[in-house]
Amino acid sequence: MPLIHLPSQPLTIHYALQGTGAETVVLLNGLADDLSSWDLQLPALLAAGFRVLSFDNRGVGLSDQPPGPYTAALLADDTKALVTALGVERFHLIGVSMGGMIAQTYALAYPADVRSLVLACTYAAPGPFCARMFALWADMARSTGLGFVRRDTDLWCFTQRFYREREAELVRMEAAAEGVAQSADAYLAQLAVIQTFDSRARLGEFGGEGKRVLVLVGEEDILIPVRLSRDLWEGIHGAEWKAVRGGHAFAWEEAGAFNDAVVEFLKRG
């Protein structure tokens, strides 16, 4: 997959642009995830007739990992520079977890670019529960390394059902996560995005000009509690709400349900 240098940032980004559809979907990853985190979504989106852009955010994978801390605004500007360089215009924007925070920021900064917005397992602000969890992850990353952080994070991402019934898949996913290129400093730089994000004062600006917004959750999400996603949804006038089976990592654990909800929403637009 190609690399592209974005002089305005300045940054080199690793990306994939696939498909030949008339409409493009841009995918925004979560914390510590590279573009391979969308492997279970790509077939469904391509089969539905969309062109799909995925990429490694700054700080992970084969993209540059400059010093942090990062912000959602910085990563949204990275996205803007990338789509501009590739000539991608008027697209559907899908963000998962941290990617949902970047997506919110992008849609507020560049509303004319966005056809529709899917905000999955994300929030408008972390609140005290998530803030304490993220502070713990930061301490763990500094003292014990990313391996321990990933082991802890996985416990919050998947449901008990997944651990009980699909251990072989879990082992594969854990191995894949271990293979993602990210330094501890880059992890902490990305972690700052979700620690500092707060869009509550601007939620009333979403949904204007007929722009459609879907807030999508795994009904058993305990990492970003469903209540926080519901607060986000309640703050966006006219937004749609959809809860499907699964936990925080429901795009992996329940990929079929996730994909069906996303494709159905996009097709109605």
Tens of pLDDT, residues 39-80: 999 999 999 999 999 999 999 999 999 999 999 999 999 999
Give Cβ neighbours of residue 14 (< 8 Å, ≥ 6 apart).
Answer: 1, 2, 3, 34, 35, 55, 56, 61, 62, 63
Q: Cα separation of 161 and 253, whole Å?
A: 10
User: What is the model's pLDDT at position 207?
Assistant: 66
37 neighbors 28 (Cβ within 8 angstroms) = no
As a whole number of angstroms, the distance between CA 183 and CA 104 comes to: 26
Alpha-carbon distance of 268 to 261, in angstroms, equals 11
Distance CA 118, CA 102 (A): 11
| pLDDT less than 70: residues of the chain | 177, 179, 207-210
**What integer pLDDT is reported at residue 145 of this predicted model?**
86
Length of the chain measured in residues: 269
Helix (H, G, I), strand (E, B) or coil at 23: coil
d(CA 255, CA 257) in angstroms, rounded, equals: 6
Full-model pTM = 0.96
Which residues make Cβ contacts (< 8 Å) with residue 88, sequence separation at least 6? 17, 24, 26, 53
Contacts of 227 (CB under 8 A, 6+ apart): none
